[in-house]
Amino acid sequence: MQGLYRMVWVLFALVLVLTVAVLVILPSMVSVPNSDKQATVAEPAKTNQPAPLAIGVMRHDAEQALQDFLRLRAQPDLSGVELWAAEDWQQAMATAAGGDDYFGHGKFELALSAYQDATKQLQALLDGRPQRLAETLASGWQALENNNVDSAVSAFEQVLAMQPDHEDGRLGLARARARNQVIQLMQQGDQAQAQSAQTQTAENLTTAANAYTAALQLDPDYLPAQVALQQVKTELVGLAFQEAMSTALQSLDDGQLGQAEEALNAAAQISADDPAVQDTRRRLISAQRQSALNGLRRQAAQQVNNENWLAAAESYRKALSIDSQAIFARSGLATAQRRITLHAQIDHYLADTTRLSSDEPLDNARKLLQSNQTLPANEPVLARKIDALQQAVRLAVIPVELLIQSDNMTEVAVYHVGRLGKFQQKQLTLRPGRYTVTGQCTGYRDVRKVITLRPDSGTYSLYIRCEEAI
C-alpha cells in the first residue's frame, strides 16, 4: 500500500507539471495574428472529462480515506482479528484492495467510496468486538461443560486473540487443554471406587482418591472431581473408624490397654461423639483403674517385704487416689504408718544412746520395748533395731566410774549431777551418758568440758581447772 501511495503522488506531480505547461508555456509559443487579418479559430470540442482541479480534489479525498482506513486497521483492539472474525476481516480487506485497484487506474471517486466502505466494515468489527468476546467466552464455557474439548479450546483461543490478557480466557483455555487428561483420571477413579464397593478395603479407595486428586491438580475447579474426592474421603474415614474401633475392642479384651487406648484415641479423632467410642472409653477407664490398682498392690507388697514403709505408704496413697474404697490400700496404709512411727521412735534412741542416761528418756524407751515385745518374724530390720534398743537400755543402768582431778582452787560442777566444790580429786559413780563438767575461779576464765561415759569401759578420768587469767 505504501508503494501504491508513492506511485499516486508521482502521477499527481506529473499531471500537475503537464497542466502548467499547457496553460503557461504553450500559449507563448503560438504567434498572435495581426489585428487586420481575419483568421478563423475553431473552438475546442467540449467533453465530459472533469477539470484537472476536480481530479486533484478527488484524489486527495481518496488518499485521506485510505489514511483513515489504515489508522483504523492499526487499532490494538483489532489485533488478531483474522482469528476471531476471519470472514468479516477478509471482506473488509477485499473492499480496500478494490479501492487500491481503482486508485491505481485513476478512478479516485470509486477508490474513495471503496476505502470508506472498508473503513465502515472495520468499524463494525470494532464496535461488535465486546459482544463477540462475551458470546465466544460463553460458548467456550458451555463447550467445556459438555466436555467438547476442541470447541472449547477454539473458543477460548479466539477470546485471547481478541484480548490476550483476558483472565477468564486464560483460565478456560488451561482447563480445556487439560480436560481430556482430567476425564481419563476421573475414569480411573470411578473404576477404583466401584471395586472398593466389593472389597470393602481402603486400598481401592486410596487409588480412587489419588486419581481424583490428580485430576484436581490439573483443574482445581472441576466440580465432578471435587464431589468424587469428598465422597471417597468420607468412605475412607468410615473405614478408618471401623478399623480403629475393632482394634480398640480386641486389645481391650486381650488386656493390652496401651494399644487399646491408642486405637480408641484414633477413633475419637474421627468421631468423638460416637456412642461406641464413649462406651469403649468407659470400659477402658475402668480397666485402666483396675490395672493401676493391681500394679500398686503388687508394688506395695514388694515394698512391705523390703520393710520400705515410706515407699509402701506412698503406693497405698496412690491407690486410694484412684479408688478411695480400696480395702487393701486402707489397711495397708494404716499398717505402714504405724511401722513408720515405730521405726522413727526406735531410731531416735539408737541415734544417740546417751539420751538414756536421763530417767525420762530411759523410762520411755522401756515402755516402747514393753509395747513391742513380740519380734516380727518377717521384719528382720525392725527386729534388729528392737534388739539394739534393748541392749542399750540394759547398758544404760550399769554404773561407770569417773575420777575428776582439779587444783583445789577451781569450783567444779557437773550438769544434772550437782556442784562438787574445790578439790584435788573426786571419784563419782554415774550412769553411762554424756556429761558436761564446768570450772570457775575468780580472776580466771571459766572452763567447760564434755565427756561421754560408755558402759563396760572401765574408769574414766578428767582433769579440770581454770588456767587463763582475765
Domain architecture of the chain: domains with CATH: 2-25+54-127 (no CATH), 148-252 (1.25.40), 304-395 (no CATH), 400-463 (2.60.40.1120)
At 96, the amino acid letter reads A
Q: 293, 326 in Cβ contact below 8 A?
A: yes
Higher confidence at residue 61 or residue 420? 420
Per-residue confidence band for 28, with pLDDT thresholds at 50, 70 and 90: very low
Predicted TM-score of the model (pTM): 0.47
Work out whether the CA dihedral 81, 82, 84, 87 comes out positive or negative.
positive
Mean pLDDT along residues 171-196: 91
Helix (H, G, I), strand (E, B) or coil at 254: coil
Give me the pLDDT at residue 448, please.
Answer: 95
Section 400-427 average pLDDT: 92
Task: Give the rounded percent of residues in the chain with a pLDDT score beyond 90.
Answer: 39
Stretch 427-455: mean pLDDT: 90
User: Coil, helix or strand for 375?
Assistant: coil
Asked if 84 and 132 touch (Cβ cutoff 8 Å), the reply is: yes
- Model confidence at 47, pLDDT cuts 50, 70, 90, reads very low
Of the candidate ranges 286-300, 326-340, 444-458, the one whose mean pLDDT is the lowest: 444-458
Nearest residue to 237 via CA among 211, 262, 185, 274:
274
Grid cell for residue 138:
460463553
Element (H, E) at 322: helix 309-322
CB 282 within 8 A of CB 313: no
What is the SS3 assignment for 179? helix
What DSSP state is assigned to residue 271? -
Using alpha carbons, select from 326, 298, 323, 303 the residue that is nearest to residue 313. 303
Q: 100-124: per-residue pLDDT in tens?
A: 888 888 888 888 888 888 888 888 7
pLDDT tops 90 at residue 25: no
Residues 6+ apart with CB under 8 A from 147: 179, 183
Q: Which residue type sits at 222?
A: Y
Question: What rounded mean pLDDT belongs to the chain?
Answer: 83
Cβ distance 437 to 448 under 8 Å? Answer: yes
The closest alpha carbon to 232, from 266, 190, 270, belongs to 190
pLDDT digits (tens, 9 = 90+) for 150-168: 999 988 988 888 888 889 9
The torsion angles phi and psi of 355, rounded to 5 degrees, stand at -60, -25
Residue 313, pLDDT above cutoff 80? yes
- CA-closest candidate to residue 240, choices 263, 272, 262, 260: 263
Res 399 pLDDT > 90:
no
Segment 313-321 shows an average pLDDT of: 94
Residue 371 pLDDT grade (very low, low, confident, very high; cuts 50, 70, 90): confident
Q: What is the pLDDT of residues 81-105, one digit of tens each?
A: 776 777 777 888 888 888 888 888 8
Look at residue 176 and tell me whether its pLDDT is greater than 60. Answer: yes
pLDDT at 26: 40
pLDDT of residue 270 exceeding 60: yes
Q: Is the pLDDT of residue 61 over 80?
A: yes
- Give CA separation, 65 vs 57, 61, 96, 419, 451, in Å: 12, 6, 10, 149, 140
Distance CA 313, CA 8 (A): 122
Over 60: is that where the pLDDT of 224 sits? yes
* Nearest residue to 466 via CA among 404, 405, 421, 411: 411
- How high is the pLDDT of residue 77? 67
pLDDT bin (cut points 50, 70, 90) of residue 27 is very low
pLDDT for residue 457: 65
CA gap 343, 70 in Å, rounded:
118
How many CA atoms lie less than 13 Å away from 329 in the CB half-sphere? 21
